[in-house]
Amino acid sequence: MNITTKFADLGLSEYGTTWELQEKLFNRIINQKKAGTDPTDNYLLFCEHPHVYTLGKSGSEDNLLLDMIQLQAKDAVFFKTNRGGDITYHGPGQIVGYPLLNLEKIVKGAREYIEKMEEAIILTLAHYGLKAERLDGATGVWLDTHIPAKTRKICAIGVRTSHWVSMHGFAFNVNTDLNYFKYINPCGFTDKAVTSLSAELQKPADIHEVKEILAKNLAEIYGLQLQKVSRDYLLNEM
Protein backbone atom coordinates (compact mmCIF):
# COMPACT_ATOMS: atom_id res chain seq x y z
CA MET A 1 0.00 0.00 0.00
CA ASN A 2 1.51 3.31 -1.09
CA ILE A 3 0.62 6.19 1.22
CA THR A 4 0.42 9.55 -0.55
CA THR A 5 3.03 11.83 1.03
CA LYS A 6 3.75 15.43 0.10
CA PHE A 7 7.51 15.83 -0.43
CA ALA A 8 9.32 19.18 -0.38
CA ASP A 9 13.02 20.06 -0.58
CA LEU A 10 13.23 23.34 1.33
CA GLY A 11 16.88 24.01 0.40
CA LEU A 12 18.86 26.09 2.90
CA SER A 13 16.34 26.85 5.64
CA GLU A 14 16.76 28.41 9.09
CA TYR A 15 16.31 25.86 11.85
CA GLY A 16 13.74 27.85 13.84
CA THR A 17 11.60 28.56 10.78
CA THR A 18 11.68 24.92 9.72
CA TRP A 19 10.84 23.71 13.21
CA GLU A 20 7.82 26.03 13.24
CA LEU A 21 6.68 24.59 9.90
CA GLN A 22 7.15 21.07 11.25
CA GLU A 23 5.02 21.83 14.30
CA LYS A 24 2.20 23.18 12.12
CA LEU A 25 2.19 20.13 9.84
CA PHE A 26 2.55 17.77 12.81
CA ASN A 27 -0.45 19.32 14.57
CA ARG A 28 -2.40 19.31 11.30
CA ILE A 29 -2.04 15.53 11.07
CA ILE A 30 -2.95 15.05 14.75
CA ASN A 31 -6.07 17.20 14.34
CA GLN A 32 -7.06 15.23 11.25
CA LYS A 33 -6.73 11.99 13.22
CA LYS A 34 -8.84 13.38 16.07
CA ALA A 35 -11.50 14.42 13.54
CA GLY A 36 -11.54 10.93 12.03
CA THR A 37 -10.09 12.01 8.67
CA ASP A 38 -8.87 9.01 6.68
CA PRO A 39 -6.46 9.16 5.04
CA THR A 40 -4.63 11.95 6.83
CA ASP A 41 -1.99 14.12 5.23
CA ASN A 42 1.63 12.94 5.36
CA TYR A 43 4.78 14.94 4.64
CA LEU A 44 8.48 14.40 4.01
CA LEU A 45 10.71 17.47 4.20
CA PHE A 46 14.37 17.67 3.13
CA CYS A 47 16.54 20.69 3.85
CA GLU A 48 19.96 21.98 4.80
CA HIS A 49 20.35 24.28 7.80
CA PRO A 50 22.76 27.15 8.45
CA HIS A 51 25.18 26.24 11.28
CA VAL A 52 23.15 25.17 14.31
CA TYR A 53 23.52 22.89 17.33
CA THR A 54 20.36 21.22 18.63
CA LEU A 55 19.87 19.45 21.96
CA GLY A 56 17.36 16.67 22.52
CA LYS A 57 15.16 16.29 25.60
CA SER A 58 17.45 13.72 27.20
CA GLY A 59 20.67 15.57 26.35
CA SER A 60 23.06 17.58 28.48
CA GLU A 61 24.18 21.13 27.70
CA ASP A 62 27.61 20.04 28.97
CA ASN A 63 28.02 18.31 25.59
CA LEU A 64 28.13 21.73 23.92
CA LEU A 65 31.77 22.78 24.28
CA LEU A 66 31.27 26.43 23.26
CA ASP A 67 29.79 29.37 25.13
CA MET A 68 27.40 31.80 23.43
CA ILE A 69 30.16 34.22 22.41
CA GLN A 70 32.15 31.37 20.85
CA LEU A 71 29.00 30.18 19.07
CA GLN A 72 28.56 33.61 17.51
CA ALA A 73 32.20 33.57 16.41
CA LYS A 74 31.50 30.29 14.59
CA ASP A 75 28.39 31.84 12.98
CA ALA A 76 26.30 29.19 14.76
CA VAL A 77 23.19 29.15 16.95
CA PHE A 78 21.84 26.77 19.59
CA PHE A 79 18.34 25.33 20.15
CA LYS A 80 16.85 23.11 22.82
CA THR A 81 14.35 20.88 21.04
CA ASN A 82 11.54 18.46 21.85
CA ARG A 83 13.05 15.51 19.99
CA GLY A 84 14.75 12.50 21.50
CA GLY A 85 18.52 12.09 21.69
CA ASP A 86 21.35 14.34 22.79
CA ILE A 87 23.25 17.08 20.96
CA THR A 88 24.05 17.21 17.28
CA TYR A 89 25.13 19.65 14.60
CA HIS A 90 23.32 20.70 11.43
CA GLY A 91 24.90 22.69 8.63
CA PRO A 92 25.29 23.21 4.89
CA GLY A 93 26.12 20.07 2.95
CA GLN A 94 24.07 17.88 5.30
CA ILE A 95 20.73 16.37 4.31
CA VAL A 96 18.28 16.88 7.15
CA GLY A 97 15.11 14.85 6.76
CA TYR A 98 11.85 15.44 8.59
CA PRO A 99 9.17 12.77 8.04
CA LEU A 100 5.81 13.94 9.39
CA LEU A 101 3.82 10.76 9.07
CA ASN A 102 0.72 9.08 10.44
CA LEU A 103 2.59 5.98 11.58
CA GLU A 104 -0.43 3.76 12.22
CA LYS A 105 -0.46 2.42 8.66
CA ILE A 106 3.33 2.41 8.23
CA VAL A 107 4.97 0.63 11.18
CA LYS A 108 4.02 -1.36 14.28
CA GLY A 109 6.23 0.51 16.73
CA ALA A 110 8.74 3.30 17.28
CA ARG A 111 11.73 0.96 17.07
CA GLU A 112 10.60 -0.29 13.67
CA TYR A 113 10.10 3.31 12.50
CA ILE A 114 13.69 4.23 13.43
CA GLU A 115 15.14 0.99 12.04
CA LYS A 116 13.48 1.62 8.68
CA MET A 117 14.90 5.15 8.65
CA GLU A 118 18.34 3.71 9.34
CA GLU A 119 17.84 1.11 6.60
CA ALA A 120 17.07 3.81 4.00
CA ILE A 121 20.37 5.55 4.85
CA ILE A 122 22.25 2.24 4.78
CA LEU A 123 20.86 1.46 1.31
CA THR A 124 21.78 4.94 0.09
CA LEU A 125 25.37 4.51 1.28
CA ALA A 126 25.51 1.07 -0.36
CA HIS A 127 24.81 2.80 -3.67
CA TYR A 128 28.16 4.55 -3.19
CA GLY A 129 29.98 1.34 -2.26
CA LEU A 130 30.00 1.94 1.50
CA LYS A 131 29.01 -0.72 4.02
CA ALA A 132 27.13 1.04 6.80
CA GLU A 133 25.59 -0.54 9.88
CA ARG A 134 23.70 0.02 13.10
CA LEU A 135 25.58 0.23 16.39
CA ASP A 136 24.29 -1.69 19.40
CA GLY A 137 22.98 0.66 22.05
CA ALA A 138 22.86 3.70 19.76
CA THR A 139 20.63 5.10 17.05
CA GLY A 140 21.86 6.35 13.69
CA VAL A 141 24.05 4.90 10.97
CA TRP A 142 27.69 4.00 11.50
CA LEU A 143 30.78 2.68 9.71
CA ASP A 144 33.28 0.05 10.95
CA THR A 145 31.24 -0.86 14.02
CA HIS A 146 33.39 -4.01 14.50
CA ILE A 147 36.56 -1.91 14.95
CA PRO A 148 35.93 0.31 18.01
CA ALA A 149 38.92 2.55 17.31
CA LYS A 150 37.59 3.28 13.81
CA THR A 151 33.83 3.40 14.47
CA ARG A 152 32.38 6.62 13.10
CA LYS A 153 28.89 8.05 12.67
CA ILE A 154 27.60 9.31 9.33
CA CYS A 155 23.92 9.88 10.17
CA ALA A 156 22.29 11.00 13.42
CA ILE A 157 18.65 10.29 14.25
CA GLY A 158 16.37 11.97 16.78
CA VAL A 159 12.59 11.82 16.55
CA ARG A 160 9.43 12.77 18.40
CA THR A 161 6.09 10.97 18.23
CA SER A 162 2.73 11.95 19.70
CA HIS A 163 -0.69 10.48 18.91
CA TRP A 164 1.34 8.11 16.74
CA VAL A 165 2.48 10.92 14.44
CA SER A 166 6.19 11.56 13.80
CA MET A 167 8.33 14.68 13.54
CA HIS A 168 12.06 15.60 13.56
CA GLY A 169 14.15 12.87 11.91
CA PHE A 170 17.69 12.42 10.63
CA ALA A 171 20.86 14.36 9.75
CA PHE A 172 22.93 12.69 7.03
CA ASN A 173 26.42 14.08 6.52
CA VAL A 174 27.12 14.41 2.80
CA ASN A 175 29.45 17.37 2.18
CA THR A 176 29.33 18.57 5.78
CA ASP A 177 32.13 20.63 7.36
CA LEU A 178 33.13 18.11 10.03
CA ASN A 179 35.14 20.69 11.98
CA TYR A 180 31.88 21.84 13.58
CA PHE A 181 31.58 18.49 15.36
CA LYS A 182 34.77 19.28 17.29
CA TYR A 183 32.80 21.72 19.44
CA ILE A 184 30.36 19.12 20.83
CA ASN A 185 30.30 15.57 22.14
CA PRO A 186 28.18 14.31 19.23
CA CYS A 187 25.06 12.56 20.53
CA GLY A 188 26.76 12.53 23.93
CA PHE A 189 29.65 10.31 22.80
CA THR A 190 33.21 11.26 23.72
CA ASP A 191 34.90 8.25 22.09
CA LYS A 192 33.27 8.09 18.63
CA ALA A 193 34.25 9.96 15.46
CA VAL A 194 31.97 11.56 12.87
CA THR A 195 32.34 11.25 9.12
CA SER A 196 30.59 12.26 5.88
CA LEU A 197 29.95 10.74 2.48
CA SER A 198 32.46 13.09 0.86
CA ALA A 199 35.11 12.22 3.47
CA GLU A 200 34.62 8.51 2.82
CA LEU A 201 34.67 8.94 -0.97
CA GLN A 202 37.56 11.45 -0.70
CA LYS A 203 35.75 13.78 -3.08
CA PRO A 204 32.65 15.99 -2.99
CA ALA A 205 29.37 14.17 -3.47
CA ASP A 206 26.52 15.35 -5.70
CA ILE A 207 24.05 16.21 -2.94
CA HIS A 208 21.15 16.50 -5.39
CA GLU A 209 21.78 12.96 -6.58
CA VAL A 210 22.06 11.74 -2.98
CA LYS A 211 18.72 13.38 -2.15
CA GLU A 212 17.04 11.64 -5.09
CA ILE A 213 18.40 8.22 -4.09
CA LEU A 214 17.55 8.74 -0.43
CA ALA A 215 14.00 9.93 -1.16
CA LYS A 216 13.45 6.84 -3.33
CA ASN A 217 14.77 4.54 -0.59
CA LEU A 218 12.64 6.16 2.11
CA ALA A 219 9.55 5.87 -0.09
CA GLU A 220 10.19 2.18 -0.76
CA ILE A 221 11.04 1.32 2.86
CA TYR A 222 7.99 3.08 4.33
CA GLY A 223 5.60 2.38 1.47
CA LEU A 224 5.12 6.01 0.46
CA GLN A 225 4.08 7.57 -2.83
CA LEU A 226 5.89 10.90 -2.91
CA GLN A 227 4.14 13.91 -4.39
CA LYS A 228 6.50 16.85 -4.89
CA VAL A 229 5.27 20.19 -3.59
CA SER A 230 6.85 23.57 -2.91
CA ARG A 231 7.52 25.33 0.39
CA ASP A 232 4.92 27.95 -0.60
CA TYR A 233 2.37 25.18 -1.07
CA LEU A 234 3.00 23.94 2.46
CA LEU A 235 2.73 27.43 3.93
CA ASN A 236 -0.53 28.03 2.07
CA GLU A 237 -1.97 24.84 3.59
CA MET A 238 -1.66 26.28 7.08
CA 175 to chain centre: 15
Catalytic residue among 187, 214, 221, 226: 187
CB neighbour class for 44 (10 Å; exposed up to 12, middle 13-18, buried from 19): buried
How many alpha carbons fall within 13 Å on the CB side of residue 187?
A: 21
How far is Cα 206 from Cα 165, in angstroms, rounded to an integer?
A: 32
Q: How far is CA 59 from CA 47, 64, 160, in A?
A: 23, 10, 14
Q: Please tell me the distance from the alpha carbon of residue 6 to that of residue 232, in angstroms, as a whole number.
A: 13
- Phi, psi (deg, nearest 5) at residue 9: -100, 110
Active site residue 47: no
| 86, 63 Cβ separation under 8 angstroms | yes
Catalytic annotation, residues: 187
